[in-house]
Amino acid sequence: MKLWQKDKDSLKSVTDFTSGKDREMDLYLAPFDVLGSLAHIQMLASIGLLTKDELNILKKELKNIYREIQNGNFLIEEGVEDIHSQIELLLTKKLGDVGKKIHSGRSRNDQVLVDIKLFLRHEIRQLTTSIKNLFDLLIDQSEKYKQKLLPGYTHLQLAMPSSFGLWLSAYAESLSDDLITLQAAYHVVNKNPLGSGAGYGSSFPLDRKMTTELLGFDDLNYNVVYAQMGRGKTEKIVAQALSNVASTLSKLAMDACLFMNQNFGFISFPDELTTGSSIMPHKKNPDVFELIRAKCNELQALPNDVALLTTNLPSGYHRDFQLLKEKIFPAFQTLTDCLNMTALMISSIQIKDKILEDEKYKFLFSVEEVNKLVLAGMPFRDAYKKIGQDIEAGKFSYSTKINHTHEGSIGNLCLPEIQSVFQKNISSFGFGIVAKAEEKLVSRD
């Protein structure tokens, strides 16, 4: 079944090629196609295209389909082109001609668009929960290990003293900034394209503000041409936001691999979180972090993948957009898995004590000794030169006592401030409005 089919069908080879993985990808959209349809039919009834009785039986059957989807009992039948066709087929089988009325006033183009936006909105919400879980853990572990010192590096050379508290909370604050770009993507996503039709509107007197309110969107995409132009642009903005989170996780994973290396030996993990070697009995490999690094590096390529799929397309719909689903939809689960596995590893981290008491790290304290001379009245350049000469002459002496007090330093991590900024960022999404709207659409009358 194809919504656009008239008397003749396409060649099977053409159908197979043009459908691709669409049926598989459309299963991601199933609950959201129902939500969009529930809002659409209420609007149709309000403008006289459905009677009250027709609206009621359509609502009842759509809610039944929604529950089947939620229970995992839904599938797209063989020979049915996509999710939209499947739901319309089910309605028509059950309700006859009334089921055919559901498509009035919309094109498959704006139907796909609203489904995708509802899906992206839902996935961003779920992803934000996983980000918050990791953020909270990093803050807790930062507080727990704030007194444990480790070497800080620049150019992979010994630089200055750091701490595990400083290291862990750096990634917490990074996630807080990542939320800003995710929030920006969410606001682009959370606009209603329904009613734009094939990109040129409709002669029906559609009430687009009504469907916007019913679906819990912040606003609508007003210009119907731009609503279609948003396809590809929206996915690219979302992909960039996912890429930012992935970048944070990838860097953390690389640090963990490095710090676990025997030449560093700063951290370790329980045996059940590492893997061994088939030939070397001493090995404890950080495979989890290596795969997090690899998967997140792949995700950092996602914005480019989306851009190359959609670059130089003129306005209007093009079948190229279909392939975006294969790029974007699975990316959310991949990133969520990486967030959850990072949390598992960090929750079980084992940290070596008294690392900086080893004399090989003595030059980490050179800046501390320079600053002591400056505090005693010596000009900085003279103090820098003196300590440098002492090092060259083998006369450098130092203390491991550190007194860093300014905001964001070893002795003043500003964890409450970082938490406050994160909470402000997460609160501004406004997920509650969406949850209430969706619940109202599918609730039993």
Give the pLDDT of the chain (445 residues) as one tens digit per residue: 455 455 555 577 776 676 667 778 899 999 999 999 999 999 999 999 999 999 999 999 999 999 999 999 899 998 888 899 999 999 999 999 999 999 999 999 999 999 999 999 999 999 999 999 999 999 999 999 999 999 999 999 999 999 999 999 999 999 999 999 999 999 999 999 999 999 999 999 999 999 999 999 999 999 999 999 999 999 999 999 999 999 999 999 999 999 999 999 999 999 999 887 677 777 788 999 999 999 999 999 999 999 999 998 999 889 899 999 999 999 999 999 999 999 999 999 999 999 999 999 999 999 999 999 999 999 999 999 999 999 999 999 999 999 899 999 999 999 999 999 999 999 999 999 999 999 999 997 6
- Residue 445 forms part of a structural domain: no
Q: Are residues 432 and 330 in the same domain?
A: yes
Cα 125 to Cα 141: distance, rounded to the nearest angstrom: 25
Cα 384 to Cα 386: distance, rounded to the nearest angstrom: 6
- Residue 252 forms part of a structural domain: yes
The label of the residue with tokens 């194809």 reads 2
- Residue 157 forms part of a structural domain: no
Q: Are residues 179 and 282 in the same domain?
A: yes
Tell me, what's the pLDDT at 7? 52
Q: Are residues 265 and 334 in the same domain?
A: yes
Cα 110 to Cα 217: distance, rounded to the nearest angstrom: 15
Q: Are 87 and 33 in contact (CB under 8 A)?
A: yes
Q: Are residues 242 and 349 in the same domain?
A: yes
- Degrees, nearest 5: CA angle 314-311-332: 120
Q: Are 37 and 63 in contact (CB under 8 A)?
A: no
- Residue 349 forms part of a structural domain: yes
Tell me, what's the pLDDT at 18? 67
Q: Are residues 132 and 253 in the same domain?
A: yes
Cα 240 to Cα 21: distance, rounded to the nearest angstrom: 24
Give me the number of domains the chain comprises.
Answer: 3
Q: Are residues 179 and 83 in the same domain?
A: no
Q: Write the CATH number for 308.
A: 1.20.200.10
| Beta bridge partners of residue 268, listed in sequence order | 350
Q: Are residues 340 and 402 in the same domain?
A: no
Q: Are residues 309 and 245 in the same domain?
A: yes
Q: What ranges in 301-354 are assigned the alpha helix state H?
A: 302-310, 324-347
- Give the Cβ contact number of residue 274 at 10 Å: 17
Tell me, what's the pLDDT at 2? 53
Range(s) of the domain holding residue 384: 358-413
Tell me, what's the pLDDT at 222? 96
Contacts of 181 (CB under 8 A, 6+ apart): 240, 241, 244
Q: Are residues 366 and 320 in the same domain?
A: no
- Residue 380 forms part of a structural domain: yes
Burial of 165 (0-12, 13-18, 19+ CB in 10 A): buried
What is the value of pTM for the model shown?
A: 0.92
Tell me, what's the pLDDT at 431? 94
Q: Are residues 266 and 307 in the same domain?
A: yes
What crossing angle do the helices spanning 324-347 and 108-144 adopt, rounded to 10°?
A: 20
Q: Write the CATH number for 99.
A: 1.10.275.10
Tell me, what's the pLDDT at 418? 97
- Residue 153 forms part of a structural domain: no
Q: Are residues 308 and 338 in the same domain?
A: yes
- Residue 393 forms part of a structural domain: yes
Q: Are residues 78 and 88 in the same domain?
A: yes
- Residue 3 forms part of a structural domain: no
Could you tell me the sign of the dihedral formed by the alpha carbons of 193, 194, 195, 199, in that order? positive
How many CA atoms lie less than 13 Å away from 76 in the CB half-sphere?
Answer: 24
